[in-house]
Each structure stands twice: as structure tokens, then as C-alpha cells.
Structure 1
């Protein structure tokens, strides 16, 4: 990667080579069929490769614009090169142009769909303005009239400036740091183009009814973009088998009907996320006009003053908040990477719920939540303040766009129709709440409040009292406010950087890192103590870029994992809260490292585990049994242990921890005290990707002891070199001293034939490690 080409951009092509490649790529692109709720139809192809990009210039939307100075890029794309910290909002506060050549057959109907453009967009076809869109978090589809045979040009003007009167921006405020998260500009989500039928199903809402009754049914609302006289049929399928079907005549642009006979359907649950496909077909006579497949799940989710109930059983919601921002790319990383966040939350951190703070997030992330059994709170864009009348009109449009896009997702159990932490505008919230319930009567509405005084708790605007509980400030004993009698109560934020330290970094002292873990455990213990809490969603899963922490390099270090998605000690608490039959866990809350602690971690050292007993060994000699901390955390399902780990100075023994469930040894972990045996690791999340230009995977580069445990205190620079046809999304050097001994980059293969990429990492003391990733044309889309 040269100094002139920012991360995320493939090498330049000649203009002639570019035009030839772009036309061939579109004509030969793979079908992008999807089960997503607002997915493009079966003719859609992804517009990932071969966009031309640059700063906005006079005439740049015209058909004959000279493209010589534009750079080829892949989507998703961020307009500015970014580091992992120190983002500069001025680098994206401008207007930008994306141009895409494509070849199509004349006489067909074409649409283009954009899943997310930050922040405003104008779409031009062959020099003609065909659509505008406001807001960066929801999709929009554009009719493409007058497509010609041969070369067509789609030109998208992207406006990433702060001074836009749309949520969450507040143009008459000081600037982007007024909200707690940065928003780099670009076409940062998937884009597709499609040849579509003349009459289309534009929306299908598949709403399960009376789920806990033997007479459960599915209510279908089908919307077309033009009147038709014919019939709509629907088939409900689960695990490849048809469970029921139904039909209704249609004599206009919409039809509603019910499908019964679904007593055999398997319910969707956090432990068994059973999904259904609903295949909807529109016919006029014997002719099929359109067909659409939507995915849903049958589940009953209820927030009550006595707690949360899923399919009739009490479930204490256990979760975290998520921001979608990544190092080096902002939000512009492909679907596989978005899905990986859901996997981390559900499979590694054992969350049963995530809050999408503070905006609608990628459909790929929500699809993964459906598949993994991760419940979702989704909310409209905004943070802390409400704007003028135009801003509020856009707020209503965001409610509609969010609900219609995502109402088939069984994982979503509540709509956040209030602006986060913005109290007092009850007239607007009455409108947003009513709108959400009209579009989807199956879910409650709510909004996260910053205070419990002066706000309207019940009525048209909110059905769940959701509270960002920062009652416990630095230096005070940790506590939560009690639930409010008579209302469902959910803690939607707590801890963050307001309780305890200003930051929780891997480079901070052992005491600071352990404090974060203790606070998260205490918060969930308090919520578990009272059935009236529906649950608790702590702040937050991952570190994220924020103008509120400019003194710390522009990052908020509130995550239990860092911005690279690498766990901190606080993540060990979440990892331990799982049935040992599924996964036995032993995670020390300390570093077994004698550089900064010559006598070891000392007395009262915490070990997070779901075992019944922990036996300790030093150099394979018995060193006692860890003691449970049940007294400190009486309501946690799996409380931590404590051990006195004082080692005579000069010794650096190996630590072994054996975990037992009953009398059975279920896990044994070893930790090296000898830094001389440490190694460098370079581990990809996925060894195989698609060679279509729209895929990527994370590679974690870390210092580890000889047993594989991360060595957080390692310093020094790691140099990276990528060989093979792909792009390194990251920097060619990583400073372990700044990142705490571990960091990550992402690899993205170019579109083309099957190939191999090899990332080589080198550290002066730890040596060399490599990661090899194959790019194929047959890998299942993730």
C-alpha cells in the first residue's frame, strides 16, 4: 500500500482497463440472493468492485465527465483513510463522488439499492438526477429510468458534512463531537442493482399471531408497487419442509390474509433460534409476476412489571450495547465482519440481548442475531438532543424506515422510538410511538432515558421504562436504581467510563482492568437479584471512536473488548456466564507476568470461571484451591473465584488451573511465567473468503505465551506484509506498546479467480508469524 493510496483502495487501473473490467464484472457477477427482510430480488447483483471515487467536482455527475483523476475503489467504502485511533472528522466533512459504469439490456426495468450511505446522497443516472436520500443508517431504493443498451453511468454524490439537518446531526451545535460517536462518510454498506419485474412485491410483513396457542397463525401483509388483479400465495417452510400454505385474491396494491395450521412450527428461542422461510408469489392467471422470500420466526416476547418472558418462561436479559465502528474503515467493512460481532456477543460473551446504539445497524448483523438467538433492541438515530421541525420530520421517516426494514426479524423485541437520552419532547414521541405500533403492532416501543425525573414514563410514547443508569459515579459504591413499580423496567446502559476509571485500556494498570470486570459483574448481579428488572445491557461491547475523548486519542475505552474486538479482562466475566456443559471456562482476571509485578498478581486475585472447583499448581506442584466469591456476587449464576498468588521474587513459575464440575476435570489451563518463550501469533477468523470483492476477515496479531494466552504487557513494533491479490485494511505497522500486545487488521481479496493471500507479521523479539487465506468463487456467503 503506497503513501498515496489510502487503506481500502485497490491498485489503480487504466481507464480502458477499468471500463472493460467494470462491464465484465457486472455481467458476470454472482447472484446475491438473500433471506434478509428487505432484500433485493433474485436478479440483484452486488456493485462491489470498480467504482470510481474522488472529491466532488463541477460536472462530476455528467455522462461525459473526465474520470482520469478518480480512483477505483471497492464497496463498502470509507471516503478517508483512518487509523485505529486519532480520527479527524475534517477528513470526511465534504462532498464526494462515486461513479459506476454498468452494462444492461434496454427495455427492462432496473433499480439500484443502497443499504447505507453516510450521510446524504444524490443518485444520478447518465447525467440525470433520479433520487435523493437523507440519513446514513437506512436503505433506499432508486428507480433507474432510461437505462440504455451498452454503457450506463450511475453517479452518487455523497455529502458527509456535519451541517445537515438530519438525525443524529445537529448543525447549529459546535460540531460532530456534540454526539458521542463519529460517523465517517461513504457508501459504507452494500449496494446492488437489479433488473426487476414490471409489477413487484415491494414489502411482505409476516407477523406471527397467538404464538403460544395451538391455533397459532401467520398474518401476511403484502404490498405491490402497482395495482394487479390476481392471486397471492404463500408457503411457510421450516427446515426445508412446508408446514402450511395459504392464498388470497388481490385486486389492488395490497392484500392481507392469515395462514393457519402452524401448530407444528418450532418456536424461535435464544437457545434454539428456529427460523421459517415464507415464500410469497404473485400471479395473474397462470403467469408469475413476482416472488419474494422473507425469513421470520415464531416467538412470544413480553416485557412485564415482573420481568421479561420469552415463550412463556422468565429470561433475565443479559447483554451489552454495540457500536458498529471499526478501526481503519469506520463502518465500511463487509457483511461477514458485521456478522462476526454478533458471533462474539452471543458465542463468546454469552449475551442474550444487544442494544443497537444509537441507530439502525447492518442487516447482516441482524440476520446473524436471528440465526444465533441474540435478542435485539433497535433504535432510531440520535443522541442527547432533538432538532427543529425538519429534523423531527426526518426522525419520523427514520422510525418508518427502521420498522419496515426490520419487522420480520424475530430477534428484535423492542423498537427504540425515542432519541437516546433526549427527554421532554413528548409530542414528538407520541407520534413516533404511534407510528411504530401502526406499522408493527407486535412489539413494544421504548427509549433510553438519562434521568427518572421530568420524563413521561407511560402512555402513547413508551411501553417499557428503559434507563441509562449511571447512578454510581467514580468513587462511589456501585448501585442501581430500583425498578419503578407497575412498569416493565430495563437497564439499557450502565458503567461505561462514568463508574470507576475514565478509560479501560489493555495498557492500564492491572487494578484498573480488574475494576472494569468487577463493575460489570456487580451490575449483572444486582439486576439478577430482583425479578422486576427485565435485565441489564451494560455499556458497552467494543471501544469506539468519540469526540468526547480527544485527550485519549479520540477513542472511548468503555468496551469489554477493544476496538479490534479483542477481549479485555472484563470480557472474562461475560465468557464465564455459560453452562459448563456447553463450554468450560477458566479465565484469570490478572496477567501471569512478572515484569510489572515481580511477586505475581498477589493476594485476592480473581479467576472468572463456571466450574465448581479450581485447583492451582505452580510448576505442576499443588498450590491450593481457589475460593468462591459467592458472598460478593450472590445472584450470579457463576460467581468468580479468588486465589492468593504471591510468588517469591526471582521465581517465574508456570501456573496451572484445573477446573472441576462435580468430581470431573473439565478444563485445564496453563500460563507461562517465562517471557523468553513468548511467540507472535497471526490468526484469521476465516481461512477462506469469496473472491468477489465483497468479502473480508479479521486477522488478530498478538504476543502470546507458549500456551496461547495473550501477553498484554508486550511492547515493540510489528511490521506487516501482504502478498497475493487483496487489500490490507489497516496499517503496515502495529505498535504493541499502544495497543496492549495485540491488534488486528482486515484482509479483503480482490474480485477475480481463486487465489491465496498471505499476511506475514514480524516482531524484533517474538519473530515471525503468518496467516494464509484462500479466496474462492464457491464459498458460502456470510
Structure 2
């Protein structure tokens, strides 16, 4: 049957059988590409340039840059935040493609810090206030199809008191720049504005309900209109259903997700919502933290027999809820174990591309074995959230803010942030809780009644929470989410209860700290999780925090760093990271992480205690005295997990003191230490620590070996000084000279001084394909070389 004939069929039930097996994927012609990236070819000046919005303005003195972009590069610490608090100017020339005539044209910004005043061809489109949520402006009436157009952004990166999270003071830096991607969106006069796919009855009779939001000009479109909703597993269409569209009918309106609301910008007409349901879905695999199965929903809008617009969304079928018995996913209780994440990075602020954002999710899920992350304290990159979907990392996402609540106009912006966060991210199966309070703010029942009600009106499938720091706080949301830095923790005072911060700022720890502090830092996290595991009323806990981060002068350790993470600011592990890593099943990874360096005098009184985080059943310790034979290993202890101190942890840490290791058995036996992990009586993992106290080796590794030549793609280069067995030498601080040949630039310092025996920089590909050669020279341990490939990237079409 031809498409035109299909569209003339009326009645959804009749059409289902008629369209069985048909698919309405748009052909890959350029005119069907609705979103055209425009991240390259921008011109930038680090000042508010008068007249720069004019088309004829001469921007020869500007620097050519690629988005994501930070308005100024900074050291990784010891800098003044005023260095990035200024107004800057961005310009981008473009010509719309010829097939854009007669269509509507928008520019979409995914994130710019903090207030963006946007012009097209000298005409002011408006100002958007907010750095963490997306916004759009319609260009249709002003765009020139017969000549060049100039898009100009005057970007105010100061901490403006009228914009959340600002107004008082916050314990993190926001940096500046157009730090997330930009695109030109070209759509028909009547187009799909958004799609919300809701999975239903996943444990009994899986179904899918899809809200399709159609935005139309003032005059309704003529002709036959229809929607086709399809569920796909790869290329295979599992189910499909058409739905007739009646432009003249009264439909539930919905405020657009990208239009700037009440902030002086152009808005599009409220989209009409049409709901299409797919029932009787067969053989649906559930999305789970251990098996994050994803499907694709494809919605095609068809006008007079021709596909006119199309959007796709990824979905996962899962049932997730906080209950009095704890957090449940697909009917099974899962104790939540996670960390809070700031999305900032050394040197580049927030301006890191997709690959680097996705890597953070991999670190949290695969290296630290967390099952949940909180996006503290703002909505984060869609690339990070996409990767959370793919790896099974649950997410608590919250609106921008930190303790302060502003005036009514400020609150209106915060309410708008709720709308933008949810309508951008409501299809992510990884997101299980919306955070609709300002972090650690006082109660404001009227304000939080608004945010909570809006969240529930937009998304009926998820519960709400709001991060507070006092037990008497009024509960307006569904889940009582609270930061509790005491020990022991408070007892839950509500049936649905989640701890969202602990340890962190009460015990900041650097990679250069001695064994006593490293051990205590690790034990504090272990003690909290032991208590959380003791009572089903605790849904679990999200520790403060994953990564060290930059902060203001009146916070942190005096160098603009909060050393609150279980990893450092370069995402490299401290001892406490080993505890989180060790809490996985050995079938996932066998873990053995010493929380000490092997040194006889790093503590107040010699060497006292060996703390090891492991999921093994037993640990065996052996020593090889210095100057002894190569095979002169002597077993000095075999111990079991410390379930006496941690009775509720399945994988309790191992602790043994100096006396238990029988270090006096061989006189003065200092030498190499070997730790073997045993499961079912067999050695499954071994780690050896040198007793020599010498930096023996230097390592240079890259997270990736291939980059794309788009001018933004980046990867991390990790630098480590180790002993002869590969263990990081904590007090190595040598300057590493880094050189790069080929199509890439360095994000970081050269020379770069190691911190705690390790550190990292990033490299960013240019727009030229080729080979990158990286050389890192240690002053004594020689030079290491890496080769990376940069592959050609498709050119931007606009």
C-alpha cells in the first residue's frame, strides 16, 4: 500500500492492521536533516564589543574558536574566579541551506554560562537567563536566504543575582562560555516540538504511551495530517500505530520546552499534545542497572502523504520507585550506592565535549562501581545522561541552586528550570528522581509547592525529591532526600528516605595526605554505607563526592579546590575510591585496593595498620626482606574481612595492625609486600608494593586512541610515577614536559607537576585529520610516547 493511501485511512484501529510492517523513516536527504550543528567557525572576543551585532562589523581581531568553549583558560587551582566573570562576544556567520526556504528556523543553545543576549543581523532576539538549561530563539522572520547572516551572542558570565544559583554565595565555580553545543533547527511550519515516551505495566503487560507535541503557526495547516509512532529494537520495528491529527480540535496545550519563558525572547505557539499508545508489546527486555537494554521510539509527522518531520528518542522499559522497603527497580530492592558529581574540569571549566562527559559516567559505573549519581547541583550534559542510560547508572537530577532562594522573579526562573530540565530529560530511563528544591535551602512551602506540582504535571512516572540539610524540613515532595554529615546518621523520619551527601566537606583529603588521613577517609565512607545497609528504611546513599572541584575563596583548602572527592580533580583515585570499587560482585571485577602506601614512617608512630578494600574472601600478606633472594617471600598473615566493624557490608574492608602482620618475626624485615586475594581457596588477584622507596617507572596513557577532527573532540592523558610494580608513588611531584605533534592542542600545563604521583591533561583535536604524537618527558625516568589517530569529521552543513 502506498503512503498516501495509508494516510487516507481513518480510525486508529483500522490503520494498525493496514500499517503492520511499514516504516516511515525519512530518507537521508539533506532537506530531512532537522538539526544542523553549528559549533565550528565562531569568532570570539573576551570583551563586550560595541557594534559586534551588526552584519558589517569587522571581526578580524576576533579569535576563531569551536564550541564547546570556555571564555578563558585557567590553571587547575590557585586562580581568581573573577578571571572568568566578564561579558564576552561571540559571532557566527552562516547561510541557511536552499531547502530551508518556507520552513521555520530556530537556533538551539544547549548551555551558555550565564546570561545570553542573542542578535540576528543586528536585531535583538532577546536575553536568556540561565547557564544550565537549554534555550532557543526563532530566526524565521529575520533570516536572509539570499545572503550571509550573522548570529551574535553577548554572554554575561558574571554571577548575576537574578539568576539561579546566584544571589548569595555558592560552593562551586560555574566558569563562562558557550560550553555546550549549538545547532540550527530547520523544521516545517507544523513540526514536532518534543516527544515524551512513557513505559507502562513493564512487569505484566508492557505498553508504551507516547505524547507527541506538535507546534503550528497561527493558521492551522491544510490537508490530511497524521502521526506514526513506532517502537524499534535496532532496525526492527516491534510495534507501530498511526494517529490522525485534527489541527482545528481543541487539544491540551503544553508550554514549549525550548522557548524562553518570560525572559523577553520570542516564543513559539504552545504545542498541541497528541497521545498514542502501543499495547500488547511482546518479548520486551527490561532496562536494569546490570542489563541496560535500550529501545528507540520513532515519531513521524506526515502531511498529505509525505513524511514532513521526524524525531527519535531512546527509552528503556523499567519500573523504578522509592518504597518503605527501599528503592526498587523492576520489583527488586536495590540498595543505592553512589556519589555526587560536579561537571567541571581542570583548565577548561565546563567546556568539555561529548567524549569527556561520557567518560565520567564510565568512571562512576565501571571504575567506582556506583549504581547511582546525583547531578549536583544542576542539570548536566545530555552526553553524560546518555551514557548513564547505556551503562545502567541511575540518576537523581536536580535544578540549579545552592542554599539561597531569591525574590519572586528569581523563583520564576527556578520554576522555569524545572520545566526545562524535565522536558529535556524525561525520556532517560536512568533518571529515577527529580530534584525540585534548591540544594540545602530553607523551607519555602509556596515556592516548592509550585516546583513539585509542575514536576508531577510534566511527568507522572517519576517521584520527586529535594535536597535539604535539616530533619524538620517540610516534605512537599515524594521522597525525603537529605544531606547528613554526622555519624551515626539520623534515623529516617519519613517512609521514603534517601541520604544524598555525607563525609565530603567534613574530611577533605588530598592524594598527598599521609596514611592516617587516607585510611580514615576510606573508613568514613565505609562506616556510612555499613549503617545504610543496616536498615531497609534507608534507600541507600550518595556520598559527597566523586571528583574534587574548583570553588570560591571562602570554601575549600585555600587554593580554590574542594578536596572532597574520592578521586582528585583529574578523576584519578584516592584511597577511598577503592572502597566504592570493592563493593561489586567478584564476577563483575575482582578488586584488591590497598588504602595505604607501604612506608614504615608515614604515620604519627611508624606503620600501624594496613587497610585493604577488597571483595575477596581472604587476603594473604607476604613480605620479601630487602637484600633477600628473589623468591624469599615469607607469609606474615592471612585475614578475613572485618565483619566485626562492618557487620552489614557484604564486602567489608580488611584491617590488620602491625602486630597482626607479625612484622617483628624476622628481625627488621622491611622489604616488598605482596597481598594475595583468595576466593574459594584460590588466589584470584595479587598486588605487590615496593619497600625500596624509589620512583622506578613513569607511565603515559590515554583514555582513547582515536579522535574526530571536529575541533572539539578531546581525551585525557594520564601521567603517573610508580614503583617497579606499578603502584603510584604518592610523593612524586616531578615536572613533566609535554609536547604534541600533529592536529591537536594541549588542554593543560607544560611542564605539568605531578600531584600525589599522578595527574592528567587533555588534548583536543583540531579540524584536520592525521596522526598525533604525544611525548611526556620525566626529568629522570625518561620519555614516554603515545600515538593517536584523528579521523576526518563530516563538515558542518551551515
- State the TM-score, normalized to the length of structure 1: 0.88
Q: Is residue 323 of structure 1 aligned with residue 314 of structure 2?
A: no
- Return closer, same or farther for 1:551/1:563 CA change in 2, 3 Å cut-off: closer
Larger radius of gyration: 2
Q: Is residue 581 of structure 1 aligned with residue 587 of structure 2?
A: yes
2:498 paired residue among 490, 498, 503: 490
CA deviation after TM superposition for structure 1 residue 74, in Å: 1.7
* Matched residue SS, 1:769: strand
* Matched residue SS, 2:482: strand
- Return closer, same or farther for 1:742/1:282 CA change in 2, 3 Å cut-off: same
- Listed as ranges, the gaps of 5+ residues in structure 1 are 1-39, 473-477
Aligned pairs (5 A) from 1:268-667: 268-453=287-472, 455-457=473-475, 461-470=476-485, 472=486, 478-485=487-494, 487-498=495-506, 501=507, 503-547=508-552, 548-549=554-555, 551-593=557-599, 596=602, 602-619=607-624, 620-643=633-656, 644=658, 646=663, 653-667=671-685
1:161 paired residue among 158, 166, 175: 158
CA deviation after TM superposition for structure 1 residue 550, in Å: 5.6
CA deviation after TM superposition for structure 1 residue 766, in Å: 2.4
Q: Is residue 45 of structure 1 aligned with residue 58 of structure 2?
A: no
CA contact (8 A) 2:229 2:276 kept: no
CA deviation after TM superposition for structure 1 residue 49, in Å: 2.5
**Counterpart residue number, 1:73:** 65
* Matched residue SS, 2:565: coil
**Counterpart residue number, 2:109:** 114
**Counterpart residue number, 2:766:** 750
**Counterpart residue number, 1:221:** 211
* Matched residue SS, 1:632: coil
- State the distance in 2 between where 1:377 and 1:42 align: 33
- Return closer, same or farther for 1:203/1:371 CA change in 2, 3 Å cut-off: same
CA deviation after TM superposition for structure 1 residue 624, in Å: 2.3
CA contact (8 A) 2:341 2:374 kept: yes
CA contact (8 A) 2:617 2:640 kept: no
* CA shift digits 1:389-417 (9 cap, x unpaired): 11001011001001100000000011111
Q: Is residue 148 of structure 1 aligned with residue 149 of structure 2?
A: no
CA deviation after TM superposition for structure 1 residue 198, in Å: 3.2
1:707 paired residue among 725, 730, 734: 725
CA deviation after TM superposition for structure 1 residue 355, in Å: 0.6
CA contact (8 A) 2:226 2:301 kept: yes
2:704 paired residue among 656, 671, 686: 686
CA deviation after TM superposition for structure 1 residue 372, in Å: 0.5
- State the distance in 2 between where 1:76 and 1:685 align: 20
**Counterpart residue number, 2:81:** 89
Q: Is residue 209 of structure 1 aligned with residue 200 of structure 2?
A: yes
- State the distance in 1 between where 2:113 and 2:784 align: 37
CA deviation after TM superposition for structure 1 residue 683, in Å: 0.7
* CA shift digits 1:388-446 (9 cap, x unpaired): 01100101100100110000000001111111111220101001100010000111111
Task: Out of 291-300 and 589-598, give the one that drifted further.
Answer: 589-598
- Return closer, same or farther for 1:87/1:247 CA change in 2, 3 Å cut-off: farther
**Counterpart residue number, 2:129:** 134
- Return closer, same or farther for 1:649/1:412 CA change in 2, 3 Å cut-off: farther
CA contact (8 A) 2:695 2:732 kept: no
CA deviation after TM superposition for structure 1 residue 284, in Å: 1.9
- State the distance in 2 between where 1:732 and 1:112 align: 38
CA contact (8 A) 1:110 1:147 kept: no
**Counterpart residue number, 1:242:** 237
CA deviation after TM superposition for structure 1 residue 103, in Å: 2.9
- State the distance in 2 between where 1:230 and 1:124 align: 35
CA deviation after TM superposition for structure 1 residue 69, in Å: 1.8
- Return closer, same or farther for 1:218/1:100 CA change in 2, 3 Å cut-off: same
* CA shift digits 1:725-757 (9 cap, x unpaired): 211011112222xx21111111111012x2111
* Matched residue SS, 1:580: coil
Q: Is residue 769 of structure 1 aligned with residue 769 of structure 2?
A: no
CA contact (8 A) 1:41 1:194 kept: no
* Matched residue SS, 1:370: helix
CA contact (8 A) 2:695 2:721 kept: no
Q: How many residues align?
A: 715
CA contact (8 A) 2:162 2:410 kept: yes
CA contact (8 A) 2:773 2:787 kept: yes
Q: Is residue 199 of structure 1 aligned with residue 190 of structure 2?
A: yes
CA deviation after TM superposition for structure 1 residue 149, in Å: 3.2
CA contact (8 A) 1:598 1:650 kept: no
CA contact (8 A) 1:238 1:265 kept: no
- State the distance in 2 between where 1:147 and 1:324 align: 37
Task: Out of 332-341 and 657-666, give the one that drifted further.
Answer: 657-666
CA RMSD of aligned residues (A): 2.0
CA contact (8 A) 1:104 1:149 kept: no
* CA shift digits 1:634-676 (9 cap, x unpaired): 1111011123454889865222222111123211222223344
* CA shift digits 1:106-145 (9 cap, x unpaired): 5254322111000011221222222421100011122223
* CA shift digits 1:195-234 (9 cap, x unpaired): 33333211010011222222x2111110111155511111
CA deviation after TM superposition for structure 1 residue 765, in Å: 2.2
- State the distance in 2 between where 1:83 and 1:716 align: 17
Task: Out of 358-367 and 551-560, give the one that drifted further.
Answer: 551-560
Q: Is residue 724 of structure 1 aligned with residue 770 of structure 2?
A: no
- State the distance in 1 between where 2:496 and 2:602 align: 47
CA contact (8 A) 1:243 1:261 kept: no
- State the distance in 2 between where 1:649 and 1:353 align: 48
Task: Out of 64-73 and 305-314, give the one that drifted further.
Answer: 64-73
- State the distance in 2 between where 1:82 and 1:594 align: 39
2:774 paired residue among 759, 775, 778: 759
CA contact (8 A) 2:729 2:757 kept: yes
- State the distance in 1 between where 2:771 and 2:514 align: 41
CA deviation after TM superposition for structure 1 residue 685, in Å: 0.4
* CA shift digits 1:550-595 (9 cap, x unpaired): 6520111000001100000000001111111121111101012457
CA deviation after TM superposition for structure 1 residue 677, in Å: 5.7
- State the distance in 1 between where 2:126 and 2:374 align: 32
CA contact (8 A) 1:133 1:140 kept: yes
CA deviation after TM superposition for structure 1 residue 598, in Å: 12
CA deviation after TM superposition for structure 1 residue 246, in Å: 1.4
